[in-house]
Structure 1
Amino acid sequence: MTSLRDAQPAHAAHIITSDEEALQLAHQLAKEFAPGAAARDAERLLPWGEIEQFSASGLWGITVPKEYGGAGVSNVTLAAVIAIIGAADSSLAQIPQNHFYALEVLRVGGSPEQLQFFYALALQGQRFGNALAEIGHKDYKRRTHLAPDAEKGGFRISGRKFYCTGALYAQWIPTLVVDHNEITFLAFVPRQSPGVTIIDDWDGFGQRLTGSGSVEFDQVWVDADWVVPFKASFDRPTTIGPLAQLLHAAIDQGIAQGAYAATLDFVRAHARPWIDSGDTRAVDDPLTLERVGDLAVRLRAADALLRRAGRAVDQAQAALSAESVASASIAVAEARVLTTGISLLAGTRLFELGGSGASLSELNLDRFWRNARTHTLHDPVRWKFHAVGNYYLNDVLPPRQGTI
């Protein structure tokens, strides 16, 4: 049997030591990723090289606590890093979302030995994908089964997953499983395990490069040391849910920032003023200025709530209680309301102000709206309003789950 101590990481990555270094590297990578984003999206060129560069930079290990050799960055910084990458290429920003989610589940429920092992892998550049969701049923129950292996020890996993963002690019696939008592666990499955089949069948019109397709498990063996409690993590107050939602908000904020920057560039270089304005340049058109100003204010407001939400998650992690986790969840829900709205609005306004020239397929500027619309379908923002209203009006704490 392979133990945690016996398994060896595959390769090394740069070790980031501070929040400032993480932000600096994110900006540097974003500049390198942005020029090819439109072509990658248009031709569905899977970003293997970019993903290797991204993880080798050390940015996938920034949440590893300092006592385990990582930077232990704040959640404000984590969200900012995702948004910075998302402004350049939102698919690249979403691919590590479940990697950080898995690390948070591990931080909350993993044993000291599991923490040591998987944190070391993250610091060395290994990527964790996900196999969480299942389709075909309306009850939201997981049917991927975890059964003891009486002969070999450990467990066997069988089932099929979909929306497995990042699994295509990962060395490990954290998989949500249930045992015979319907208790849920997160099993870290090596990608190369016999019986694992990754199917690149994601064909959404947005976020086209996230690898969010299917994974099948046919009697896949996993060591008992690779199985982490999951249900227990939600039986008590934890920051797993708000952290997951914070990352989703950051992806949307990144899309909005990218669309806003593209709008400014296109209006400056190509747009014409409307005939009734009497101006000769689009940048002087008074109604264009009003629309850009409105967009800028909304973008800044969403960014402010995203930062506020990150601080709330930081505070909850430092002083865990039902109240602090609820406060963090609500702060993140409020941020998601604005980041959802601005990501969709920015993608639409790019065409409103750019005019018909912006719609040329060769420019692929519609990717911002397509990506925003696809990603914001992850969980409905209307239920964010419900949770926020119930919290303030009735003092009802939001449910402990990954969607709030």
Structure 2
Amino acid sequence: MSTLSALLASPPAASAADRIHDDAHALDVARALAVEFAPGAIARDQQRSLPTDEVERFSRSGLWAITVPRAFGGAQVSHATLSEVTAIVAEADPSLGQIPQNHYCLVDAVRLVGTPEQQHFFFAEALAGRRFGNAVSETGTASSKTVTTRLSRTPQGLRLNGRKAYSTGALFAHWVPVAALDEQDRQVLVYVGRDAPGLSVLDDWRGFGQRTTASGTVLADHVAVEPLQVLARHRLFEPPTIHGAFAQLLHSAIDLGIARAALADLRRWVRERARPWADAGVDHATQDPLTLHRLGELVIRLHAAEALQARAAEHLDAARDSDASEASARRVTDASIAVAEAKVLTTTLSLDAASVLIELAGTQSTLEQHGLDRHWRNARTHTVHDPLRWKYHAVGNHWLNDAQPQRHASL
């Protein structure tokens, strides 16, 4: 039996998924799901209750397959649509917005460096509703880029060994792509079946925000691997591709969703519950001039962030099918810088909106029962994923010195 046939004979279990037809359909489904997900978000956060049913509903909707190329039966939606789908779901529950972020990136890795056989198999898996998790990061190493997990050739075949952290989505996944080094010290991605012997996924994530992303630990102990499961991760950025900017656009969309959620609560509290400061000389918080000034500033920044997010998505569309040409490399650079600019605004806005919410809503807003603290905790936790200081550096260095941004998943 061939490798492909063996894997197809016993694929990871998944419920049948709906098929998204186009961009408009994707947005409609995302909005409907957000209405379903939002009411339970506070309770899930407070109780650290994993959204198992919600993730299943989310992937069965077909939204997890919207980036599969049309040639393989997918909708291949625009980056603007993917960004907005992510922001819509993140506004309802940012943990649910973040969980498929790695899935989309790992589908993109199949597009960029998968062999025809791998593309045929893994795109079909995505369309069937099967979820890709994440086991890329490691802790306890000298550098964030250090990889100690190894894929080795043994008399019994390929075997995978290592330990991973911050494995968002792995607990819910059917496939857990693991970043490793092969025997030539080249970076690879090994797409391991969630139930493979020797693979363990631990629910040990205890961050104060994004509490229900299940971003725990993955252990690989002599896991058997077939060649079909191994992708050449070292080729993801050669020639220049949008893979890093693609990942960052989704992170930015999550922060945009958090900001929108905080602003929605801010509007409601100022209208319904907040009190004006005595020196304002007005009867209602909605008439307080300094409150209105503060709100106006945030609304303008929201609109600016949305505009830069849309602009960045357009750049990604233009650079999607990159090649080795100089013109293509310039488009990839433009996309990376545009996404960095958007990420600066969504990061700072999500943090500030969450903080101003408590400031203007008043002391009563700090009561745990209201769950308003979750916006800041979620924003602060998610936005440390990539250092903002280096976004400013990349934009400034490119503008002044025409410097090219580094090629990795953080730009």
Partner of 2:201, secondary structure, is strand
Aligned ranges 1:216-227 → 2 under 5 Å: 216-227=219-230
Give the Cα–Cα distance (whole angstroms) in 2 for the partners of residues 328 and 255 of structure 1.
Answer: 23
Q: How does 1:4-403 map to 2 (within 5 A)?
A: 4-8=4-8, 9=11, 10=13, 11-139=15-143, 140-151=145-156, 153=157, 155-320=158-323, 321-403=328-410
Post-superposition CA distance 1:354-374 (Å, at most 9, x none): 011111111110000000000
| Deviation of the 1:235 alpha carbon | 2.9
In structure 1, C-alpha distance between the alignment counterparts of 2:100 and 2:166, rounded to whole Å: 14
Change (3 A) 1:120 1:298: same
Give the AA of the match of 1:311: E
Determine if contact 2:240/2:322 at 8 Å carries over to the other structure.
no
Aligned mates of 1:189, 1:268 — CA distance in 2:
51
Give the Å deviation of 1:277: 1.7
Counterparts of 2:212 and 2:131, CA distance in 1:
16
TM-score scaled to structure 1, two decimals? Answer: 0.97
Deviation per CA, 1:66-104, whole angstroms, max 9, x where unpaired? 111111000111011000000010000000010001011
SS of the residue 1:162 aligns to: strand
Q: Secondary structure at the match of 1:103?
A: helix
Q: Would the aligned equivalents of 1:263 and 1:354 in 2 still touch at CA under 8 Å?
A: yes
Cα distance, 1:6 vs. partner?
4.0
For residue 50 of structure 1, give the secondary structure of its aligned residue in structure 2.
helix
TM-score by length of 2: 0.96
Alpha-carbon distance between aligned partners in 2 of 1:37 and 1:177, rounded to the nearest angstrom = 35
- Cα separation, 2, equivalents of 1:110 and 1:137: 29
Once the two structures are overlaid, the 10-residue window that deviates more, 136-145 or 371-380, is 136-145
TM superposition shift of 1:2: 6.3
C-alpha distance after superposition, 1:230-259 (max 9, x if no partner): 102223211110001111101101100111
Identity of aligned residues (%): 51
In structure 1, what residue type is equivalent to 2:4? Answer: L
Whether the aligned pair in 2 keeps the contact of 1:390 and 1:396 (CA below 8 Å) is yes
Q: For residues 43 and 272 of structure 2, what CA distance do their matches in structure 1 show?
A: 20
Return the alpha-carbon distance in structure 1 between the equivalents of residues 370 and 5 of structure 2.
50
Match of 2:167, SS state, is coil
Q: Which moved more, 1:281-290 or 1:62-71?
A: 281-290
Q: Report the CA distance between 1:319 and its aligned residue.
A: 4.6
**What is the aligned length?**
402
| 1:131–1:215 contact (8 Å) kept in structure 2 | yes
Q: 1:178 to 1:289 in 2, by over 3 A?
A: same
Give the deviation of 1:150 after TM superposition. 2.9
Query: C-alpha distance in 1, partners of 2:142/2:189?
Result: 21
Q: Choose 310-319 or 93-102, whichever is displaced more.
A: 310-319
* Residue number in structure 2 paired with 1:3: 3
Give the secondary structure class of the aligned counterpart of 1:362.
helix
Residue by residue over 1:262-318, the C-alpha shift from the partner in whole angstroms, topping out at 9 and shown as x without a partner, is 111111121111112222221122221111111111011011101111111111114
Secondary structure in structure 2 of the residue aligned to 1:98 = helix
Structure 1, 349-358 or 230-239: larger mean CA deviation: 230-239
Secondary structure at 2:106 match in 1: helix
| Secondary structure, counterpart of 1:204 in structure 2 | coil
Q: Is the 8 A contact 2:133 2:177 kept in 1?
A: yes
1:197 maps to a residue whose letter is: S
Q: Distance in 2 between matches of 1:149 and 1:124?
A: 33
- Contact kept, 8 Å, 1:256 with 1:344, in 2: the verdict is yes
Distance of aligned partners of 1:197 and 1:18 in 2 relative to their CA distance in 1, 3 Å threshold: same
Q: Deviations over 1:323-350 (max 9, x none)?
A: 1111110000000000100010110010
Q: Is the 8 A contact 1:2 1:223 kept in 2?
A: no
Give the match's secondary structure for 2:7. coil
Which ranges in structure 1 are unaligned for 5 or more consecutive residues?
A: none
